[in-house]
């Protein structure tokens, strides 16, 4: 499959530099979800777009070497479970499901707002992995993992 | 009228773009027109002072355009045959819609100003959101604290969606594999 081996050298070089900045921006958006506009969903989409950038520029084979696709699958399923675990911890510590049981902290500080920050991180991982995997499967349904 | 002029401008651009998306023969041009509609949605969210929603909408539109281009680029769907329309039915539909629009202008004038009667719950969130949750972004505090059940439902929906995608595409590729094996056996 010659045409699936990615784009020209210029695109590959730019991608090699820019993909880390895109990932960093996604992580920033996730971690500042409780302070500024954004949050888990927006940051997760940015992370998925960064992976998608690599897939479009370098092709499927390089991407499946670079990222362990079945590991991404496990992370994606585990983050959904993690959300549930945080909710159940809310029952046992805070008294009700998804209760905010951690320290509230100071307003406008990075480490503040109790469980909102961990829930944002979990949702960001979940959304990023899910959207990337959906595109991964849709783009090349010939080689589906897990058969 | 409670609707601002710039909102009418954005909405008319979106309507024109969606008509263009329907009418264009080339499917790639249609995808670009759909992208224009999505950009209009996120712009109007931004100007209606909902930056959280605008960011998510904008990113999802980029994502959708990439998926659509990727899905339709190598397929043979590029040209589409013009559909045949029952002219009487189309005329009746247009006249009915126009009548509904004309009668609903008075309804638009009755609408209250944007965000004006604040509900009791919304007032409570505005007053106590930062104190209760410690989050400076009120949207986050509602989505992940007061209404975290909703978010759990959204996560479940995403999980089910990817599960369904994987299942369907796996069945397809499996049956393709079996078919080629059968062909080889027949030869």
pLDDT at B20: 92
How many domains does chain B contain in total?
2
pLDDT at A138: 79
Residues B163 and B79 in one domain: no
Domain that holds residue B70: 1-116
Nearest to B71 among A77, A106, A138 (CB): A138
Nearest to A42 among B55, B156, B161 (CB): B55
Residues B74 and B124 in one domain: no
CB A73 within 8 A of CB A146: yes
Nearest to A119 among B59, B63, B144 (CB): B144
Residues B40 and B70 in one domain: yes
Residues B101 and B130 in one domain: no
List pLDDT tens digits, range A72-88: 989 988 998 999 999 89
Residues B146 and B157 in one domain: yes
Measured between alpha carbons, how far is A24 from B22 in angstroms, rounded to an integer?
Answer: 38
Q: Which two tokens stand for residue A135?
A: 């595109």
List pLDDT tens digits, range A100-137: 888 887 888 888 888 888 999 999 999 999 999 988 88
pLDDT above 70 coverage of chain A, percent: 91
pLDDT at A143: 44
List pLDDT tens digits, range A27-59: 999 999 888 888 889 999 999 999 999 988 988
Residues of B with Cβ-Cβ distance to A144 under 8 angstroms: 166, 169-170, 173
Q: Which of A3, A31, A32, A40 to mutate to test the interface with B (most CBs of B within 10 A)?
A: A40
List pLDDT tens digits, range B126-167: 888 888 888 888 888 888 888 888 999 989 998 898 888 888
**Contact flag A144-B56 (C-beta cutoff 8 Å):** no
40-59 in chain B: CB under 8 A from chain A: 51-52, 54-56, 59
pLDDT at A113: 81
Q: Where are the domains of chain A?
A: 9-138
Residues B105 and B186 in one domain: no
DSSP states of A83-109 as a string? HHHHHHHIIIIISSTT---S----TT-
Q: Which two tokens stand for residue B51?
A: 């930056």
pLDDT at A135: 86
Instruction: Per-residue pLDDT tens, chain B, 187 aa: give them.
Output: 466 788 889 999 999 999 999 888 788 888 999 999 999 999 999 988 889 999 999 999 999 998 888 777 766 655 666 667 788 899 999 999 999 999 988 887 787 777 677 788 888 888 888 888 888 888 888 888 888 889 999 899 988 988 888 888 876 666 666 666 666 666 5
Residues B74 and B105 in one domain: yes
Task: Quote the distance between the C-alpha of residue A72 and its chain's center.
Answer: 10
Measured between alpha carbons, how far is A46 from A44 in angstroms, rounded to an integer?
Answer: 5
Q: Which two tokens stand for residue A66?
A: 């670079």
Boundary of a domain, candidates B116, B141, B158: B116
Boundary of a domain, candidates B57, B81, B116: B116
Measured between alpha carbons, how far is A15 from A17 in angstroms, rounded to an integer?
Answer: 5
Of B35, B105, B104, B111, nearest to B67 by C-alpha is: B35
**Contact flag A144-B170 (C-beta cutoff 8 Å):** yes
- Quote the pTM value: 0.82
Least Cα separation, residue B55 to chain A (angstroms): 7
pLDDT band at A62 (very low <50, low <70, confident <90, very high): confident
């Amino acid at each position: 499959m010659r045409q699936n081996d990615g784009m020209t050298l210029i695109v590959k070089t730019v991608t090699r530099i820019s993909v880390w900045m895109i990932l960093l921006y996604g992580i920033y958006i996730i971690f500042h979800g409780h302070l500024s506009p954004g949050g888990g969903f927006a940051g997760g989409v940015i992370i998925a777009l960064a992976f998608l950038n690599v897939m479009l520029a370098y092709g499927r084979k390089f991407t499946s070497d670079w990222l362990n696709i079945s590991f991404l699958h496990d992370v994606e399923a585990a983050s959904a479970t993690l959300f549930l675990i945080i909710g159940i911890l809310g029952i046992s510590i805070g008294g009700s499901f998804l209760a905010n049981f951690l320290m509230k902290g100071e307003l406008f500080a990075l480490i503040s707002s109790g469980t909102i920050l961990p829930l944002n991180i979990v949702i960001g991982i979940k959304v990023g992995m899910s959207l990337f995997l959906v595109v991964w499967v849709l783009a090349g349904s010939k080689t589906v993992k897990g058969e | 009228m409670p609707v601002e002029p710039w909102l009418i401008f954005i909405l008319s651009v979106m309507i024109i773009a969606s008509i263009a998306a329907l009418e264009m023969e080339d499917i790639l041009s249609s995808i670009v027109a759909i992208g224009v509609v999505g950009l209009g949605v996120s712009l109007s969210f931004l100007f209606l002072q909902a930056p959280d929603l605008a960011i998510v909408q904008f990113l999802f539109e980029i994502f959708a355009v990439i998926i659509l281009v990727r899905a339709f680029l190598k397929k043979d769907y590029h040209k589409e045959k013009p559909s045949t329309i029952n002219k009487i039915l189309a005329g009746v539909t247009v006249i009915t819609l126009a009548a509904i629009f004309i009668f609903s202008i008075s309804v638009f004038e009755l609408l209250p100003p944007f965000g004006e009667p604040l509900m009791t719950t919304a007032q409570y969130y505005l007053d106590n959101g930062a104190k209760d949750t410690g989050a400076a972004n009120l949207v986050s505090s509602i989505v992940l604290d007061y209404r975290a059940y909703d978010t759990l439902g959204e996560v479940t929906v995403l999980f089910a969606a990817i599960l369904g995608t994987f299942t369907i595409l796996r069945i397809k590729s499996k049956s393709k594999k079996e078919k080629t094996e059968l062909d080889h056996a027949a030869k």
